[in-house]
Amino acid sequence: MFFGLAFALVAYTTLSALTITYFGIANVAPSVFENFQTDNSVSSYVLRAIFLTIFLCNIPFVFFPGKQAVLAIIALCKNKIVDEEGNTP
């Protein structure tokens, strides 16, 4: 548990320092997404994709059964276990 907390502390501190160094203290908004809106470079789009991935992977537990059902349907269709009519062999 200590290593996880230490990693989070180092990651957030490093990210904050790099952001302030790159954009400047006056140009950094409290919301990360407001900062990304002003930048249209490739790195901005990569960071947006990373945040989207994190958001999709951290779906609340209330929606977990629905997420599992969608993943099961994708797996069944990918492995060709279900045909176009929805029948199983």
pLDDT digit string (tens) for 58-70? 767 677 788 788 8
pLDDT digit string (tens) for 33-59? 776 777 788 887 888 888 888 777 776
* Same domain, yes or no: 53 and 13: yes
Q: Residue 82 has what DSSP assignment?
A: S
User: Mapping DSSP to helix (H, G, I), strand (E, B) and coil, where does residue 32 land?
Assistant: helix
* Per-residue pLDDT, 87: 66
Count of the separate structural domains present in the chain: 2
* Per-residue pLDDT, 85: 66
Domain residues for 66? Answer: 59-89
* Same domain, yes or no: 39 and 27: yes
Query: Can you give the pTM of this predicted structure?
Result: 0.39
* Same domain, yes or no: 51 and 12: yes
Question: How far is 6 from 63, CA to CA, in rounded Å?
Answer: 30
Identity of the amino acid at 76: L
Q: What residues have CB less than 8 Å from 88, skipping those under 6 apart?
A: 81, 82
* Per-residue pLDDT, 74: 85
